[in-house]
Homo-oligomer: A and B are copies of this chain.
Amino acid sequence: MFVILYYDVNSKRCGKMLKTCRKHLQWVQNSVFEGEMSDAGYEKMILELRKIIKVDSEDSIVVYKFRHMKYYDRCVYGTDKKEDIKFI
């Protein structure tokens, strides 16, 4: 499946979130990630991320799951931060 993931967490946990998301997905911008992954890979990632977030601190993760990577366009307006992408 193709996944778009966005997180909003307390700054204390940003580093861990970034590192874990980058392990599984491609970084797009700030707290937005995307990538193709298997069901098993997805479950593994979510398990890791849920261990990091604290619900009582209003941390949250939003995930869009698509059957295929079928978005026909991704547009960036303003500063494109994608040049910083590192593939791990």
Taking Cβ atoms with an 8 Å cutoff, the residues of A that contact B are 4, 6, 8-9, 28-30, 32, 46, 49-50, 53-55, 58-67, 70-81
Contacts and interface: CB of A to CB of B under 8 A. Distances in A.
Contact of A78 (B59, B71, B75, B78): B59
B29 A77 contact: no
B60 A80 contact: yes
Number of copies: 2
Contact of A75 (B29, B63, B67): B63
Contacts of A9: 78
B76 A62 contact: yes
Counting chain B CB atoms within 10 Å of each CB, which of A65, A74, A79, A80 scores highest? A79
